[in-house]
Amino acid sequence: MRKAPVQGPVRSTLAAQRSVVRVLLIEDDSSYADLVKILLSANPEQECEVTVASTLAEGLRSLEQRLDLDAVLLDLSLPDSTGLDTLLAVLGAFPTINVIVLTGSDDQEQGILAVGAGAQDYLVKGEFEPNQLARVLRFSMERKQILMRLEEAQRIAKIGNWELRPEESYFFASPQLYETLGLDAARDQISYGDLLEEEHPLHILLQHTQNLEDDEEGDSLEFVLNDGSKRHLLLTSKRLEQKDGVPVYIGTLQDTTLQRKAEELQRAQELAEETARVREQVIATVSHELRTPMNAIVGMSHLLAETQMDEEQGQYVTAVQEASQLLLGIINDILLTSSLQNDALQLEEAPFDLTLTVRGIIAMLRPKAEAKGLQLLLDIQPSIPGRILGDKQRISQVLYNVIGNAIKFTDEGEVGIQVTVLEETYSLKVWDTGPGIPPEKQQEIFQPFSRLESSATKQEGTGLGLNITQALVQRMGGEIGLASTLGQGSEFEIVLPLKIVDQSQVPIVPEVDYSPVSEVPADRILLVEDHKMNQIVLKQTLAKKWPDLQVRIASNGAEAKQLLSQEDFDVVLMDIQLPDTDGFTLTQELRSQPDNRNVNTPVLAMTAQAQVANDDRYLEVGMVDFVLKPFNPEELYQKLTQHSLKNNT
């Protein structure tokens, strides 16, 4: 294959002279190519001109014909080439081109390898939004320009040399030194007399050489050019043996401005990564510290609600429970937003029944709708497949947010949801007869902390619900749209690309059943929990359900180890964060002791860290399940019954 001439400097010059970014998209999926075009056109700050090629050969021909391209978006799986060979073919023919590879969600490792092979960056299909795509494109162009300039500096050796003999009032500078300083060698000649002037930028040479010994020394300095721009220079000098009794100093002056910028970018990236890590850690810690006392509040109010109370006391308890649930929702929103911002959220793909899931959300929200006198309607297309592949938990969260919002802002009339299948996508429409959303607010409501106030009362919440909903939908490769008319209501449409499961090959997994459990699932339970109030809540919750159940309590890891070595238990409820250790380490140690009488006893994690739901570490250390604080009593009863050693022997 004929290689095109290197066009790196020409490309960067052309890019600097115009505002339109020219992109070549090499992608064989026409629908996805159209989506990328839409995403690029959605960026108001940068106009993009997109050329599409459906094969590698067609893409290479386009590159030969277009010398003004700023970037190439390259799918690694094409009809005539796959994998890293696709990237290497492009870079082999056009080594200076700016390439961003596109990978599938299950093939991110190939994206990382592609960056190591010369790509500027990689994007996972279906997991990026317009702002992210524009940002990656812009950063890749900036990085490419910096790298090209650095390579050019190394190739041309932008190093000027000089020689100084103070005793002879002699000074010499090479043409490259003048160029480095932004001067004309013929017009701006520097003499030794110029160096004697303190305000002269090269006066530093005299200062630098005054106490110079035979060893080579270096110094960094900043130089201001005639146009006002600044350059960072690296000054190196060396004293040679005396010639006729006259000391001679020689040295170099190297332009390190670009290196400095690269170092600053690297430091900025490292700082940003460290800031994100610390922020995630702080939010996780704060979330745990908030959810732990919330567990006590929710648990105590639940226990109190089961006692004999008069009407006034019942109203107080109900108010506490409602406020607790609101606060818990705020904590969950903040934690989930942090996970989304730091790309720490993992999506699952498992078979589930979409119809049952939607009906379950409707059943959960129906009491809220009925309390406001609203009709809650459901219209599900009969041809919806029985089981499909997707993340049931996140889809449920999306529907709960959108339907819950519709109920919150609708004071009379109805709220409804319609579920239809359109070829390989599923449409979930939620409509209401509420006040509607003004046109100027319809994009704003998807922004973080954006809230619309109803005409009558101020609505509670963080204003993160729709922002989280949009982010989750986009992570799942879907889209969410809004149509609204003031005074007539609103309609949100969620379109998700969910795969149909072969019903004959996938076993049907029953929905989780939290129906009341009566039979005592265990004789003895060990509760490892350091928080005194949570000890009381758990013990009393279990005692009300099973009065004959024996619950032993360990307040730290040392007490737990002692009890586990001395007594037999059917189940262990293990807090993750303990004063002297953590529940993961404690469980791992138990599983590594074959002589321990409880080596095979089921261990359930009890934690306020919501991230445990997206992390398999609890399974890796030997735990069988987890219960999230604040806990649902029926869920706790169900999991104790399911995993108890007594029920499985």
Q: Which pLDDT value is given to residue 343?
A: 64
Q: What's the CA gap between 24 and 420, in Å, rounded? A: 36
pLDDT tens digits for range 33-47: 888 888 888 777 778
Among 100, 107, 102, 22, CA closest to 63: 22
Dump pLDDT digits (tens) for 225-235.
777 778 888 88
pLDDT of residue 242: 64
φ/ψ of residue 626, rounded to 5 = -140, 155
- Secondary structure of residue 638 in the 3-state scheme: helix
Selection from 246, 254, 251 nearest residue 205 by Cα:
251
According to DSSP, the β-strands at 414-422 and 375-380 are parallel
Burial class (CB in 10 A: 0-12, 13-18, 19+), 59: buried
Model confidence pLDDT, tens digit, residues 365-406: 888 888 889 999 999 888 777 778 888 878 888 888 889 889
The letter for the amino acid at 403 is I
Beta bridge partners of 389: 351, 499
HEC assignment per residue over 459-497: CCCCCCHHHHHHHHHHHCCCEEEEEEECCCEEEEEEEEC
Q: What is the Cα–Cα distance from 333 to 312, expressed in whole angstroms? A: 32
Q: How wide is the angle at C-alpha 472 spanned by C-alphas 466 and 477, nearest 5°? A: 125
For 95, 306, 325, the CA distances from 318, given in Å and listed in that order, are: 68, 12, 11
pLDDT of residue 487: 85
pLDDT of residue 430: 93
Sequence-distant (6+) residues with CB within 8 A of 313 are none
* pLDDT of residue 252 exceeding 60: yes
Residue intervals of the chain classified under CATH 3.30.450.20 are: 157-255
Q: What is the pLDDT of residues 165-206, one digit of tens each?
A: 888 788 888 777 777 787 876 678 888 888 888 888 788 888
Confidence of residue 69 (pLDDT cuts 50, 70, 90): confident
**Count of C-beta atoms within a 10 Å radius of residue 86:** 22
CATH topology of domain 157-255: Beta-Lactamase (3.30.450)
Q: What is the pLDDT of residues 317-355, one digit of tens each?
A: 777 776 776 677 667 766 666 666 666 667 777 788 888
pLDDT grade for 157, boundaries at 50, 70 and 90: low
Query: What phi and psi values does residue 279 have, to the nearest 5 degrees?
Result: -60, -45
User: Residues 82, 76: contact at Cβ < 8 Å?
Assistant: yes
Q: Are 536 and 487 in contact (CB under 8 A)?
A: no
* Closest residue by Cα to residue 237 from 194, 192, 206, 200: 206
**Which residue type sits at 356?**
L
How far is 590 from 594, CA to CA, in rounded Å? Answer: 8
pLDDT at 459 over 60: no
Residue 79 in this model has a pLDDT that exceeds 70: yes
Cα radius of gyration (the chain): 34
Return the closest-CA partner of residue 254 out of 209, 215, 210, 223. 223
Average pLDDT over residues 138-166: 70
Looking at the chain, the whole-number percentage of residues with pLDDT higher than 70 is 81
CATH superfamily, domain 8-154, is Response regulator (3.40.50.2300)
* 7 — pLDDT class (breaks 50, 70, 90): very low
Is residue 1 scored above 50 in pLDDT?
no
Q: pLDDT for 555-566, tens place per residue?
A: 999 999 999 999
- pLDDT tens readout for residues 620-629: 889 988 888 7
Domain at 354-500: CATH code:
3.30.565.10
Strand partners, 254: 159, 234
Predicted local confidence at residue 114, as pLDDT = 84
Q: Residue 38 is encoded by which pair of tokens?
A: 């839409």
8-state DSSP, 410: -
Amino acid making up residue 145 = Q
Average pLDDT over residues 595-613: 82
Conformation bin of residue 276: beta by default, left when phi > 0, alpha when psi is -120 to 50? alpha
The span from the CA of 251 to the CA of 577, in Å, is 61
pLDDT of 598 above 70: yes
**3-state secondary structure string across 436-447:** CCCHHHCCHHHC
Report the pLDDT value the prediction gives residue 47, as an integer from 0 to 100.
83
User: What average pLDDT does the chain have?
Assistant: 79
pLDDT given at position 508: 47
d(CA 376, CA 138): 46
- pLDDT at res. 561: 93
Task: Return the CATH number of 524-648, one of 3.30.530.20, 3.40.50.11720, 1.10.10.10, 3.40.50.2300.
Answer: 3.40.50.2300
> What pLDDT is stored for residue 453 in this prediction?
56
Kindly state the DSSP code that residue 201 receives in the 8-state scheme: G
* Least confident interval from 464-478, 500-514, 598-612: 500-514
Q: Two tokens at 191?
A: 């003499």
pLDDT, average across residues 273-282:
72
Is residue 253 within a helix (H) or strand (E), and if so which, with residue range?
A: strand 246-255
Q: What is the pLDDT of residue 590?
A: 92
Every domain range in the chain assigned CATH 3.40.50.2300: 8-154, 524-648
User: Can you say whether residue 526 is alpha, beta or left, with left for phi > 0 and alpha for psi between -120 and 50 degrees?
Assistant: beta
Cα 578 to its chain centre, rounded Å, is 29
Taking 80 as the threshold, does the pLDDT of residue 67 lie above it?
no
How many residues are present in the chain? 649
Which two three-digit tokens encode residue 216?
A: 């080579």
Distance CA 389, CA 398 (A): 16
What b/e sequence results for 488-507 when a residue is b if at least 16 CB atoms lie within 10 Å of its CB, and e otherwise? ebbbbbbbbebeebeeeeee
**Residue-level pLDDT at 431:** 92
Under the banding of pLDDT at 50, 70 and 90, the label for residue 280 is low
Per the structure block, which two tokens stand in for 479? Answer: 């889209």
**Residue 602, pLDDT score:** 92
pLDDT value at 485 more than 50? yes
The shares of helix, strand and coil residues in the chain, as percent rounded to the nearest 5, are 45, 20, 35
Could you tell me which residues are beta bridge partners of residue 525?
551, 571
- Which residue intervals of the chain bear CATH 3.30.565.10? 354-500
pLDDT at residue number 14: 39
With tokens 């070595």, the residue in question is 565
| pLDDT (0 to 100) of residue 10 | 38
Q: Which pLDDT score, from 0 to 100, does residue 462 have?
A: 56
Element of type H or E holding 243: strand 230-243
107-134 per-position pLDDT tens digit: 778 888 888 677 888 888 877 777 788 8
Mean pLDDT of 87-103: 85
Cβ pair 513, 520 in contact under 8 A:
no
120 and 100 Cβ atoms separated by less than 8 Å: yes
Kindly report the number of other CB atoms within 10 A of residue 208's CB atom.
20
Whether the pLDDT of residue 455 is over 60: the answer is no
Whose structure tokens read 């989780």? 512
Helices (H), 26-129: 30-41, 56-65, 84-93, 108-116
- The yes-or-no verdict on residue 285 having pLDDT over 80 is no
pLDDT > 80? residue 409: yes
